[in-house]
Structure 1
Amino acid sequence: MDLPTAQHPADQLEIRLSDPGEVAAALPQLLGFHPAESVVLIGLGGPSGGRVGLTVRGDLPPDGDAARTARLLVRSLHSDRPAAALAVVVSDEADDPAPDGSVADLLPHRALVHELVLALAAAGIAPRDVLLVRRGRWWSYDCPHACCAPGAGTPLPGGVSALAAAAVCTGQVVAADRAELAERLDAPTGSGPGMQAACLRAAAGRAARLQEVGRPALVEESWAAVRRAVARYRPGAAGQGPLDDDELAALGWALRDVRVRDRALQLALGPDAAAAEVLWTECTRRVPAPLDAAPATLLAVSAWLRGDGAMAGIALDRALDGDPEHTLALLLRRALDACLPPAGLRDLIGRAAEPDPQA
């Protein structure tokens, strides 16, 4: 299940609910990729009741699993305390034959829609509408008019929506699907042997340095190396190319130290947040397991704080693939599954940086 959030800029954008098709057309911006065979719940709140909040997505369930899927999705959405919700079924499935044998067919996935409405009502969330999106058109399951007949539907709005424009302003690049989003973390072609050798050299050098200066000094040296690397990825940084294998391998080993990694978490809250996220992405792509677990976890935090829950989930999957026992990644996975909002994560990181008054 993907748990992306429409935070900046969507948390400041009022969606005109008089046109549900506009919301349906904006699903790729809300999710970060074009969904297929999916069910999506969009939380709505704010003074007008039309502000987009948390958005959750799941695969369409197999027969007999509709009730469980609906409960899981609604439970996740409820963590954001929305006043209402818009449910969207994205599917290319054909219409269902009418059970009484009449000529009129029915929109597909009605059993799932029924369970979604029941689960939303049980959670005290008003179901504003339930839509089907199929092959460039949308339908409302509750609409009695001819335009909502299974063979009709309404074309999705053309042009650039407000959410799409906001996404462009923030540099969001929408993936064709979730698999393409995950491919953004794939290792570059031919990077394996050289990086493996670099990691061995970095391990030997770190062990020797530990014997020479001790752990506290090594932590400070490692943190200084992280700061220098982040500076090289700042927008507009001149005269400095990307890190080579040896530099990235050294960072991978440095971030295995929880004291260095926890300092690096704070970068997501400061002016170097964007540069740090680029660095974590590069480390995740190029360093091998288990060294990729720490930068992947840092990448998940960065993505989560800017509202990209889909990438946060993918990065956490990568971290736990590299190190299934990685403590921070496991904690963040549970928090993401519980739909901790970005503001909650920001508060936790900020409080973790405060000095202990008892120390």
Structure 2
Amino acid sequence: MDEPPIPVIRLGDTGEVAAALPHLLGFRPAESVVLVSLRGPGGSRVGLTVRADLPPPGAAAALARTLAVKLVTDDPGAVLLAVVSDSPDVLAPDVTVLPVAPPGSGDLEARPELPHRDVVHELVLALDARDVPVREALLVRGGRWWDYDCPHPCCGPGAGTPVPEGASPLAAAAVAGGAVLAPDRDALAARIAPAEGPAAAAMAAQCLRTGRRHAARLRSGAADEVAEAGAALVADAVAACRPGPATAGTRLPDARVAEVLWALTVPDVRDRALALALGEDAAAAEVLWTECTRRAPVPLDGAPATLLAVSAWLRGDGATANVALDRAMAADPGARLPRLLAEGLAACVPPAELRALIRSTLLTDAG
């Protein structure tokens, strides 16, 4: 089975990386610290991206150690550190009053500095302890960026450099890979939030009817036939989700979604569905898992949410994978696979390792 090509993105300069942060994360970060692994010749290739909320006072060192452990799983040659925050400039803690007015005026005022230097300091120390240098440390605020280490007026408080606008190579690659940029993480979760109102009631009723037929087929003792029929249903639904004029603007009817949901309760069908993430229909399958997760009643939403998490993770969208795994674990808190995937994602297992694990698991099951 051929793997879909994974684009190699090399970002040119600091401003381009600042502009690319939302595409690297899948949503626009706010009050966040972001670490970008830099790999390849000269450290120009973007690798793993790790994000966390800015810590409260006194918690920067603990957060820095946690993020450093996660990032080194990507074996970076260097790291770009970005603080995304609307916090205003602060007074330098080690300076009381400095003269900045014209000589002889007698006026004195405190020297302002960029915010969150304590977070940057702890991250530099934590990464240095693991022999990973921080190439640059940025503040991104209000459409501009600053370099924490730059001594020139362009990076002084109140100055900054505009974040580049327009489509970047990374944005184009993200769109081609099926990513859709969300304004924030809540909007990301809203894409697969459960349906409500009459639509949800109609879907639940359809799932009950389909479930009775599914149970009757299982009771007939033809388990292999049920699995084959279920796999065929999933394959047909994936084909209906492929991009193109024949499928543009179409919406799978409730009856078809219900059939897919019940088919995914069969382990063999679920395994075959997992294999779709490794092939040329990966994007179409992700569309189907998204639609099924959004419209499925509990607990039928667990399987498609897990499959959605795997699809998103394999294309490097950890944010969507996390949101989908939250949905899967809420559907069935005792389910083992979503919890194992969540642990792997928290440990920043690279998509390539997950891909290899899935491939080896499917080959073992086939044998």
TM (norm. structure 2) is 0.90
Where structure 2 has 5 or more consecutive residues not aligned to the other structure, the ranges are 98-109
Alignment-derived partner of residue 106 in structure 2? none
Q: Which residue of structure 1 aligns with residue 102 of structure 2?
A: none
Q: Which of 174, 177, 183 does residue 181 from structure 2 map onto?
A: 174
Contact 1:231–1:237 (CA<8 Å) still a contact in 2? no
SS at match of 1:115: helix
What is the TM-score when the length of structure 1 is the normalising length?
0.91
CA drift of 1:56 comes to 0.6
Q: Deviations over 1:143-192 (max 9, x none)?
A: 11122211222221233333233334445321111111111112445321
Name which of structure 1's ranges 330-339 and 36-45 shifts more when overlaid on structure 2: 330-339
Q: Quick check: 2:178–2:283 contact (8 Å CA) kept in 1?
A: no
Closer, same or farther: CA 138–303 of 1 in aligned 2, 3 Å: same
- Contact persistence 1:40–1:88 (CA under 8 A): yes
Query: Conserved in 2, the CA contact under 8 Å of 1:232 and 1:242?
Result: no
For the residues of structure 2 that align with 1:155 and 1:35, how far apart are their CA atoms? Answer: 17
Larger Rg: 2
1:280-321 Cα offsets, whole Å, 9 max, x none, are 111000001111010000011111111211111111111111
Supply the distance in 1 between the matched residues of 2:305 and 2:178 (Cα, whole angstroms). 20
Contact 2:204/2:297, CA 8 A, preserved across alignment:
yes
1:101 has 2:108 as partner? no
> Deviations for 1:12-32, whole angstroms, at most 9, x for unmatched residues?
22222xx31221111111111
Shift of the alpha carbon at 1:343?
Answer: 0.9
Instruction: Provide the secondary structure at the position in 1 that maps to 2:43.
Output: coil
Aligned counterpart, 2:129: 122
- Whether 2:57 is the aligned partner of 1:63: answer yes
Name the SS for the 1:33 alignment partner: coil
2:162 to 147, 155, 159: 155
Letter in 2 for 1:107: L
Match of 1:13 among 6, 9, 12: 9
Equivalent position amino acid for 2:82 in 1: V
In structure 2, the CA distance between the partners of 1:226 and 1:170, relative to structure 1 (3 Å rule), is closer
Cα distance change, pair 348–194 in 1 and its aligned pair in 2 (3 A): same
Task: Name 1:258's counterpart in structure 2.
Answer: 267
Partner of 2:230: 222
Structure 1 stretch 122-131 or stretch 347-356: which is displaced more?
347-356
Matches of 1:345 and 1:108, distance apart in 2: 37
SS of structure 2 residue aligned to 1:353:
helix
SS at match of 1:26: helix
What is residue 217 of structure 2 aligned with on the other side? Answer: 209
- 3-state SS of the aligned residue for 1:79? helix
Structure 1 portions without partners, runs of 5+: 1-6
Distance 1:210 1:47, change over 3 A: same
Tell me the CA shift for residue 117 of structure 1. 0.3
When residues 198 and 356 of structure 1 are mapped into structure 2, their CA distance, relative to the original with a 3 A threshold, is closer
User: Partner of 1:343 in structure 2?
Assistant: 352
Q: 1:63/1:218 Cα in 2 relative to 1: closer, same or farther (>3 Å)?
A: same
Residue identity in the other structure for 2:140: V
For 2:307 and 2:174, the matched residues in 1 are separated by 22
What is the CA–CA distance in structure 2 between the aligned matches of 1:233 and 1:160, rounded to whole Å? Answer: 27
Which runs of structure 2 are paired with 1:1-359 in the superposition (5 Å)?
8-9=6-7, 12-16=8-12, 19-99=13-93, 100-102=95-97, 103-190=110-197, 191-236=199-244, 238=246, 241-355=250-364
Name the SS for the 2:259 alignment partner. helix
Moved more, 224-233 or 42-51: 224-233
Per the alignment, in what secondary structure is the counterpart of residue 41 of structure 1?
strand
User: How far apart, in 1, do the equivalents of 2:166 and 2:253 lie?
Assistant: 42
Which secondary structure state, in structure 2, belongs to the residue aligned with residue 151 of structure 1?
Answer: coil
Give the Cα–Cα distance (whole angstroms) in 1 for the partners of residues 53 and 271 of structure 2: 34
Task: State the AA in 2 paired with 1:345.
Answer: L
Contact 1:187–1:285 (CA<8 Å) still a contact in 2? Answer: yes
Secondary structure at the counterpart of residue 58 of structure 1: strand
Q: CA offset at residue 231 of structure 1?
A: 1.9
Name the aligned partner's letter for residue 248 of structure 1. Answer: V
The whole-number CA distance in structure 2 between the counterparts of 1:239 and 1:176 is 27
Identity %: 57
Task: Provide the C-alpha distance between the structure 1 equivalents of 2:143 and 2:292, rounded to a whole number of angstroms.
Answer: 38
Q: Deviations over 1:67-97 (max 9, x none)?
A: 1111111111110000100000000011111
